[in-house]
């Protein structure tokens, strides 16, 4: 089974802190040139809690139009105070043309609510959104609600889920869920980069982590080679490198990703609605060091980094007179 890397898309902003849709397109070009096999739009990395409902819909619709069916696109839909509100917004965002609506597990129960409450609300959500493919995501915000294996199995048994983004972190818990997730048409993605090699070898469909906003080529390489018996030495080496730098790229995220993309030649402004402080000189130096490491990974593994100069070349539009 083909393994897929699916980035959690960042949102570029212009100098007025409005969505920069031209740069959104350049980022999509960059991701696709790196070999990604899908997109998670309107997610935490997209600063979904810092943009309006209209912006969530406009951004997702723009991404769907530009991707134009080349790879699947999923997006978060569980916004609103009530289950009815969440269902209504899910219908709106599904109408943008995405392949599945992602539901944040922490949106369906308070931190002190039992699993019975969560399951009851998911059941109501499913009943209000018939025929819409759904996914789940154990998003860190508003709080991380990890699905137990039993709850995960119950939700899968409804037949409504097509997608799951897991943040269990502990390999044993990921393995337990993967044993349940062996269902035709269901995609299980691990969000934790330090798990990449292990999850892919245990049967995960792919990875969907923030590291794809820094060096997607490396994650694509891992997805393509984690199960290759002849490349296990390199697989283990790359995994150790990804694990080493992972805590560092989380600092000041998503600003860290936007600055890193600048180092790679993409003029993504370091403007964020979710992280309002400027990066410190020390933080920039750390990211420059990780960029140097990335170039070393590419050299050892024969990875060709995306040519961002080509990505930024002006588009040649067809002559309407022809």
Q: CA angle 221-68-298, nearest 5°?
A: 20
* Closest to 65 (Cα-Cα) out of 19, 30, 97, 87: 97
Q: Is the distance from CB of 238 to CB of 217 less than 8 angstroms?
A: no
**Token pair belonging to 179:** 């044993």
Integer Cα distance of 270 and 259 in angstroms: 6
**What is residue 254's DSSP assignment?**
T
284 catalytic per annotation: no
* CA atoms of 264 and 314, how far apart (whole Å): 18
3, 86, 162, 165: which is the annotated catalytic residue? 165
Could you say which of 31, 94, 137, 259 is catalytic?
137
Q: Judge whether 163 counts as a catalytic residue.
A: no
Give the number of other CB atoms < 10 A from CB of residue 5: 27
Token look-up 């820094």 returns 214
Residues involved in catalysis = 137, 165
């Amino acid at each position: 089974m083909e393994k897929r890397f699916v980035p959690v898309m960042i949102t570029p902003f212009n100098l007025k802190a409005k969505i920069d849709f031209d740069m959104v397109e350049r980022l999509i070009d960059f991701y696709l040139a790196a070999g990604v096999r899908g997109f998670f739009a309107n997610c935490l990395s997209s600063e979904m809690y810092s943009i309006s409902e209209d912006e969530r819909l406009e951004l997702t619709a723009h991404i769907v139009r530009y991707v134009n069916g080349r790879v699947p696109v999923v997006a978060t839909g569980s916004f609103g105070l009530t289950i009815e509100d969440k269902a209504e917004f899910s219908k709106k965002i599904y109408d943008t043309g995405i392949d599945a609506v992602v539901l944040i597990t922490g949106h369906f129960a308070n931190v002190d609510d039992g699993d019975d409450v969560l399951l009851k609300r998911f059941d109501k959500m499913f009943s209000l959104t018939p025929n819409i493919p759904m996914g789940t995501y154990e998003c860190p915000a508003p709080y991380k609600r990890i699905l137990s294996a039993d709850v995960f199995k119950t939700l899968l048994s409804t037949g409504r889920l097509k997608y799951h983004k897991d943040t269990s972190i502990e390999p044993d818990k990921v393995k337990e869920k993967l044993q349940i997730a062996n269902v035709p048409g269901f995609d299980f993605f691990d969000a934790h980069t330090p798990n990449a090699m292990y999850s892919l070898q245990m049967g995960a469909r792919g990875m969907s982590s923030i590291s794809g906003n820094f060096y997607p080529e490396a994650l694509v390489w891992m997805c393509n080679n984690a199960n290759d018996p002849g490349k296990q030495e390199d697989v283990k080496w790359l995994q150790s490198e990804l694990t080493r730098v992972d805590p560092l790229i989380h600092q000041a995220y998503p600003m860290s990703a936007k600055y890193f993309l600048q180092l790679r030649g993409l003029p993504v402004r370091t403007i964020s609605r979710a992280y309002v402080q400027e990066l410190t000189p020390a933080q920039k130096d750390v990211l420059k060091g990780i960029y140097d490491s990335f170039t070393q990974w590419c050299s050892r593994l024969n990875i060709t980094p995306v040519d961002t100069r080509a990505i930024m070349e002006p588009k040649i539009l067809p002559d309407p007179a022809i």
